[in-house]
Chain A
Amino acid sequence: MSTEPSRPRGLGVERQHRDVNVARFATSHELNRMGQDREPNEDATDLDLIARWKAGDERAATALVERHAPALARFAASLGERADVEEVVQDTFVRAFASIESFRADSALRTWLFTIERRLILDRRRSERRRRSDASLDEADAATEFDALDGMVAEEAEARVVGVVQRLSRLQREVFLLRVNEGLSYKQIAEIVGSTEGAARVHYHNAVRAVKELLYV
């Protein structure tokens, strides 16, 4: 992430990770296959791509998925989704595209996608909780919830950070990760978690304080 070039704020989060995301998630074969299509899509806005998809251009849908899937996958994994990250991301896109007409252009597409994904994850957790009839599922799962990340965290310090973040409350964790990992503003975060800008700010600073205490005290 630190390799990303500096960009002025306000360009839209959907553009901030574009280069890195495409490179990370597309194989060389896919890049070669989509090479000539990628250039025009680079400068296209989300609204342009949506309009092109509605006109029947499937490459626009591909560009949108490439642009936003990595962030969605990262967010799902950071919230403790285990082996179902890809399924969550796919369901998010399917649901979003099925109701694309309800997308309001006054918010970023990525913010809207995060909102849908978060609801999906919460619904899946509720369903799982009902299925297992286990009221203490959160505590029981706490030890294994981040198993999917364990294999990906190389260093001990980073593994420790994952453990610390997992001890935050759900809302604190969501706000903290959206702010730190995705670089979203408090306004966007509030929209995603269904809170207020001020509350999101408080959750973030409480989370930072808790993480620092758990890591260094």
Chain B
Amino acid sequence: MSDCANVDMRELLPDFAGGTLDAQTHARVEAHVASCADCASELETLRLVRRAFANAPSIDVQRIVAALPQPSAVPAADSRSRPSVRRWTDWRIAAALTMITVGGLSVAVTQRMRLSNSVDSSLVQQRPESVVTPTSVPPAVRGSGATTTQPAIPPQSQAVHPVRAEKAQLSFGGGVDGLDRAAIEALMGALDEIDRAPVAPSVEPDRAPLLPVITEGRR
């Protein structure tokens, strides 16, 4: 049993079996089937299938009609379709807002964590070498006398390397890369002086924590 190579003709066989072709096409298929054993066999199979499934259980039409809803009970098109569209639109808007909110929160939390880690690592890495000198404190903070957070600095502490001072202004803890041994010893001495000096009462709480952290790191 093989299939006819004329696919177009085979496609028409179900319609030919059902008698739904126009006269011209019907005659064309009929002529082909008469000369093609494969199509004749396939057509006979299709007719057999149609006969086998032709008889369906009888249906009580009136019973079905009696079970149908009344036309007045059927919702109108407007009241059916619009809420559906609106529900879909509302759902999309809600999803978009949720995504934006969650995304924004994620970015904020991520940035905050990154900033926190950056500050912590900076402090941890630079803590042994960090120092705050008078030059690293902005002029507005330095102020004068007991109103500032900075204790009095002995004169020898001014022997900080200029490069060190520049770096201190660029970073939290500054750096000691450019200091030689003598400068570092002088710096340590200055820090000891800072430790011994009485701490003035702070009027700027934001700046105060830096000093204990740095001095603690030095210890």
The interface size of chain A toward B, counting residues with CB under 8 Å, comes to 67
Distance between Cα atoms of A58 and B66 in the complex (Å)? 9
CB <8 Å contact, B64 and A90: yes
Beyond A65-B64, A98-B69, A102-B80, is A16–B20 a contact (Cβ under 8 Å)? yes
Q: Which B residues are in CB contact (< 8 Å) with A167?
A: none
Q: Interface centre among A6, A85, A161, A212, by most B CB within 10 Å? A: A6
Q: Which B residues are in CB contact (< 8 Å) with A49?
A: none
List chain A positions with a Cβ less than 8 A from chain B: 1-9, 16, 25-26, 30, 53-56, 58, 61-62, 65-66, 69-70, 73-74, 76-78, 85-86, 89-90, 93-94, 97-102, 148-149, 152-153, 155, 157-159, 161-162, 165, 176-177, 179-181, 183, 205, 208-209, 211-213, 215-217
Closest to A59 in B: B65
Closest to B38 in A: A212
CB <8 Å contact, A62 and B75: no
Closest to B26 in A: A6
Kindly count the residue-residue contacts between A and B in the assembled complex, taking CB atoms under 8 Å apart: 166
CB <8 Å contact, A1 and B18: yes
Distance between Cα atoms of A13 and B19 in the complex (Å)? 12
Distance between Cα atoms of A148 and B55 in the complex (Å)? 11
Closest to A56 in B: B71
CB <8 Å contact, A4 and B18: yes
CB <8 Å contact, A2 and B50: yes
CB <8 Å contact, B62 and A62: yes
CB <8 Å contact, A2 and B19: yes
Beyond A7-B20, A211-B49, A216-B1, is A61–B62 a contact (Cβ under 8 Å)? no
Bitwise, B1-34 to A at CB < 8 A (1) or not (0) is: 1010000001000110111111101100000000
B219 interface hit (Cβ, 8 Å): no
> Chain B: interface secondary structure?
helix
- 29 A-B pairs in the complex with CB atoms less than 8 angstroms apart: A1-B19, A2-B50, A4-B19, A6-B20, A8-B21, A25-B61, A55-B71, A61-B68, A65-B68, A69-B64, A74-B54, A90-B64, A90-B67, A94-B68, A97-B74, A101-B76, A149-B52, A153-B55, A157-B48, A158-B51, A161-B52, A177-B49, A180-B50, A181-B50, A181-B54, A205-B10, A211-B45, A211-B49, A212-B45
B59 contact from A9, A89, A158, Cβ within 8 A: A89
CB <8 Å contact, B65 and A58: yes
Q: Interface centre among B55, B64, B75, B77, by most A CB within 10 Å? A: B64
B58 interface hit (Cβ, 8 Å): yes
Q: Which B residues are in CB contact (< 8 Å) with A56?
A: 71
Distance between Cα atoms of A160 and B92 in the complex (Å)? 53
CB <8 Å contact, A86 and B80: no
Distance between Cα atoms of A208 and B25 in the complex (Å)? 22
Distance between Cα atoms of A56 and B69 in the complex (Å)? 11
Distance between Cα atoms of A66 and B56 in the complex (Å)? 14
A183 contact from B18, B42, B76, Cβ within 8 A: B18
